[in-house]
Amino acid sequence: MKFSMKILLWTIIVMALALGFSGFYFVNYVFETSLEREVGQAVDESSILGFAFETAALSVPAKYSVLPNNTVEEIASNLERGGQSTGRLLRISDEEKNVLYTSDGFEMDDELLQQTGENIKTYRIIQVGEKYYIHTGTTVNALNRILYLENMKDVSEVFTEREMGFSLYRKVTLVMLFVGMVIMQIISSLLTKPVRLLTEATKRMAAGDYAYRAKQISQDELGQLTKDFNSMAGALEQNIQMLEEEIEAKEEFMGAFAHELKTPLTAIIGYADMLRSHKLDEEKSIMSANYIYTEGKRLETMSLRLLDIIVAGKEEAELQEVPVEPVFDYLEEMFVGRRKIEFYFEHEPGTVLAEINLIKTVLVNLVDNACKASEEGGRIEISGQALENGYRFAVRDYGIGIPEEELHKITKAFYMVDKSRARSKNGAGLGLALCVEILKIHHSELEIESEAGKGSCFGFILAKGGAKE
Ligand code: ADP
C-alpha cells in the first residue's frame, strides 16, 4: 500500500474513533441532563399533586370522618383534568394498595406501588410500547386515610431527542470524515511529495542518468534526506566518472600499447624475413641486423619502462629524509660532457622526504626529454630551490616546446607529440607517465610550463626533510 494511503487510512481511523466517541459522549451527556431535569420535575409534580389532593380533601363535608371512596374518585378525576391538554395519568390506591381510581391509559404493574410507603417517595423510568414514562409514587394523607398516588409523566421526547442527536451526529461524522478524507488526501500527497521525487531520482539514476538530482522542496527531515541523497548521488557520479575515465584510459593504453608493439615488431619481422629469404651482401646484412637490434632494443626499453610504471603504481614508497646534493651530483655525472648540450646546475642546499632512486629516475627522464627537445649546443638548466614547505626541482630547456593543446596529453602512456621524431630518438611515450606515477607515491605532481618553439620547464615539489607526513 502507498505511504500516502497509509497516512490517509490511519488519519481516517483516528478521526472516526475520535468523532464517534466524542459524539456519543456529547449526545448522551445532553440526554442524561435532560432526563435528570425531567425526573426532578416529575417528582415535584407528584408532590404538588399530593398536596392538591390533600387540599381538596379538606373541603369534604364535616359529616364524614373518613374520606369516602367516591370522593377520592371525584378528587382524582378533577386532578386528572387539571393536567395538560392530554390530561394527567393518575392512579390512586387505598391503604391496602387496592386501586381506587385509574386514569385511562395508565397501564402499569404495581411494582412501584409495592415499594412506595409512608414518607417513601419512589420513581422509575419505564418504557410502555414505544413511549417512555417517569412513573412516580407518593402517599397522600387525607381525612384519616393514607392513600397512594401514582403519576406518569411522558418523557418520550427526551428519548426521541437522543435518537435524533445520534442520527444527526452520525451524519455530521460521515460528512466530516468525507471532508477530512479529501483534505488529508491533499495533505498526505503534499507530505509525501519529497519521497516521490526521491523515488523518481533513484529510478532515473538506476537507468543510468547519474546527473539527475531530486528536487528539494522542504527543509524538514525529508528535505535533509533529499539533500543527503543528492550529495551521495554527487559522490557516486564522481566515482562512476572516475571509473569510466579509468576504463577509457586503460583502453587507450591497450590500444597505444598494441600499436607501439606493432611498429618495432613489423620492422623486426620484415628485416628477419629479408635476411632468411634473400642472399644479401654483407653491407645489407649488417644494416638489417642493425635494424633488428635497434628495434629489439626499443622493445626492451619499452617493456622495462612499462614494468617500472606498473611497479611504481603499486608501490608504497618508503620515504626517507635525504639531502639533495647527491641527486644533482648524479645528474651532472650522467649528462655533463656526454651530450652536445650546455648544462647549468644551480641548487640550494636542502633535504627532502623521498625514495632517492625513484626521484633520480624522474629527473633523468626530464633531463633526457629536455635533451631530445633541444638542438645541438642548446642550453638546459637544472635547478633546486628550497621553499617554505618543500623543495622544488626544475628542468628547463629552450628547445622545440609543446603546443598548448598537447600539454594535457603528454603524461599519458605512449603519447608522443611528434611520433616519428620521438621514435627516432628512441622514445616510446612512457617516460612522463612513469614520472607521474613516481611523483604520485611522493604525494606530488608534475608541473609543466611550455610554449611551442620557445622551450619547456618541468618541475615538481617534494616535502622537506623533517616535515611530518
Ligand atoms: P618519450 O620521451 O619516450 O617519447 P615521454 O613520456 O617522456 O616519452 O614524453 C612524451 C612526449 O612529450 C614526448 O614524445 C614529447 O613529444 C613530449 N615532450 C616531453 N618532454 C618534452 C620537452 N622537454 N620538450 C618538448 N616536448 C617534450
3-state SS track over 279-321: CCCHHHHHHHHHHHHHHHHHHHHHHHHHHHHHHHHHCCCCCEE
Q: What is the pLDDT of residue 417?
A: 84
- Answer yes or no: is the C-beta of 394 below 6 A from any ligand 1 atom: no
pLDDT band at 304 (very low <50, low <70, confident <90, very high): confident
CA of 369 to the centre of ligand 1 (A): 6
**Which numbered atom of ligand 1 lies nearest the CA of 411?**
6
Q: What is the pLDDT of residue 68?
A: 87
CA of 457 to the centre of ligand 1 (A): 12
Q: Is the CB of residue 368 less than 8 Å from the CB of residue 343?
A: no
CA of 345 to the centre of ligand 1 (A): 21
Which residues touch 94 (CB under 8 Å, ≥6 apart)?
A: 69, 72, 100, 145, 147, 148
- Answer yes or no: is the C-beta of 432 below 6 A from any ligand 1 atom: yes
CA of 418 to the centre of ligand 1 (A): 9
- Residue 191 to residues 201, 388, 402, 433, Cα–Cα distance (Å): 17, 56, 59, 54
Q: What is the pLDDT of residue 450?
A: 96
Of the candidate ranges 197-206, 292-301, 309-318, the one whose mean pLDDT is the lowest = 309-318
Q: Is the CB of residue 135 less than 8 Å from the CB of residue 105?
A: no
CA of 114 to the centre of ligand 1 (A): 127
What one-character-per-residue DSSP string does 107-168 give? ---SHHHHH-BTTB-EEEEEEETTEEEEEEEEEEEETTEEEEEEEEEE-HHHHHHHHHHHHH
- CA-based end-to-end distance of the chain: 56
Mean pLDDT within 426-435: 83
Name the residue with the closest Cα to ligand 1, atom 11. 416
Q: Which residue matches cell numbers 390533600?
A: 54
- The stretches of 315-405 forming alpha helices (DSSP H) are 325-335, 356-373
- Answer yes or no: is the C-beta of 399 below 6 A from any ligand 1 atom: yes
Closest to 394 (Cα-Cα) out of 324, 342, 307: 324
Which of 366, 416, 438, 439, when mutated, tests ligand 1's pocket best, judged by the most ligand atoms within 8 Å of its CB?
Answer: 416
Rounded to whole angstroms, how far apart are CA atoms 288 and 273? 10
- Answer yes or no: is the C-beta of 427 below 6 A from any ligand 1 atom: yes
Q: What is the pLDDT of residue 174?
A: 93
Q: Which amino acid is at 252?
A: E
- Answer yes or no: is the C-beta of 226 below 6 A from any ligand 1 atom: no
- Answer yes or no: is the C-beta of 367 below 6 A from any ligand 1 atom: no
Which of 432, 434, 446, when mutated, tests ligand 1's pocket best, judged by the most ligand atoms within 8 Å of its CB?
Answer: 432
- Answer yes or no: is the C-beta of 429 below 6 A from any ligand 1 atom: yes
pLDDT band at 469 (very low <50, low <70, confident <90, very high): very low
Rounded to whole angstroms, how far apart are CA atoms 71 and 56? 10
Closest to 154 (Cα-Cα) out of 122, 186, 129: 129
- pLDDT per position as a tens digit, 23-72: 999 999 999 999 999 999 999 999 999 999 999 988 888 787 888 888 89
pLDDT band at 434 (very low <50, low <70, confident <90, very high): confident
**Which numbered atom of ligand 1 lies nearest the CA of 399?**
24
- Answer yes or no: is the C-beta of 102 below 6 A from any ligand 1 atom: no
Name the residue with the closest Cα to ligand 1, atom 12. 410
Q: What is the pLDDT of residue 131?
A: 92
- Rank 109-118, 140-149, 456-465 by mean pLDDT and report only the highest: 456-465
Written as nine digits, the cell of 311 is 611497479
Closest to 106 (Cα-Cα) out of 78, 82, 86, 85: 86
- Answer yes or no: is the C-beta of 57 below 6 A from any ligand 1 atom: no
Rounded to whole angstroms, how far apart are CA atoms 84 and 45? 12
- pLDDT per position as a tens digit, 380-418: 999 999 999 899 999 999 999 999 999 998 998 888 888
CA of 79 to the centre of ligand 1 (A): 132
Beta-sheet pairing, 379-386 with 342-347: parallel
Whether the model clears a pTM of 0.95, i.e. scores above it, the answer is no
pLDDT band at 17 (very low <50, low <70, confident <90, very high): very high
CA of 311 to the centre of ligand 1 (A): 21
